[in-house]
Amino acid sequence: MLVQPGGAVVLGAPLALALWLHPNWVAFFGVPTPDAGLIPNTPALVGFGLAFGLGALLDRRRDLLERIAARWPLHLGLALAAGATALDLAGGPNPRLEPITDPAIKAAAAGAFGVAVYASSLAAVALAVRFCSGHSAVRRYFADAAYWIYIVHLPLVMVGQVLVQDWSLFWPVKLALIVGGALAASIAGYELLIRHSFMGRWLNGRRVPWRRRPAASAPSPAE
């Protein structure tokens, strides 16, 4: 059931309810970040917890990945439709940066956002399995580095914003510099600090040893 397109509705319903019950939910910002204390807020606990549960299920039942991939157009179509609806209800090009007060609009926005979260997750899995399941050393490397990048990207992005805020550059250039700089720093940190150390085993389940140059062959006695 969960791997069908309707699974996004089933998974999205608890998140939608948690968002609708959250008193100060700003729809444009999605799931409220759990950064106000050690106890996570309910929408973050529900949203991230369900995503973790879905990942654990797929890890145990990898045969379901092919069934998800076979329905990639449906997952992608639902993700685009629900995402566009959620964005429109959040204000579209002129986002509402305050909580929604109308209960009906808030319910619709929460529902669309909940479905969009899991439909897009299933669509991403489906597209990856369908079109990127072959071996690629580059994709394998970035997949290994992804968790580390997720952990460290936020402070790097914040530093980048501070550095470029007074530069007289068009904003897309600033954005490219921040994203590119944060990505480069993350990859460098992963390669030098994580991939080949014990931290690589903690984050990825395996440690990749440093490549060693092959030892020069010893000269034969006849030489």
| Spatial contact of 117 and 44, defined as CB atoms under 8 Å apart | no
Q: Report yes or no: 27 and 109 within 8 Å, Cβ to Cβ.
A: yes
pLDDT (tens digit per residue) in 164-205: 988 998 989 999 999 999 999 999 999 998 988 888 888 777
pLDDT value of residue 32: 86
State yes or no: pLDDT of 16 exceeds 90. yes
Q: What is the pLDDT of residues 111-148, one digit of tens each?
A: 999 999 999 999 999 999 999 888 888 988 998 899 89
Q: How far apart are CA 124 and CA 189, in angstroms?
A: 26
Using the Cα atoms of residue 70, residue 72, residue 78 and residue 83 in order, give the sign of their dihedral: positive
């999205």: which residue's tokens?
12
218 has a pLDDT exceeding 60: no
Measure CA 220 to chain center: 56
Mean pLDDT of the chain: 87
Confidence (pTM): 0.76
The CA distance from 41 to 15, in Å, is: 12
Q: d(Cα 167, Cα 31) in Å, to the nearest integer?
A: 31
Give long-range contacts, CB 8 A cutoff, 24+ apart: 211-214.
none
Burial class (CB in 10 A: 0-12, 13-18, 19+), 12: buried
Q: Give pLDDT, residue 77.
A: 95
For residue 4, pLDDT over 70 is answered with: yes
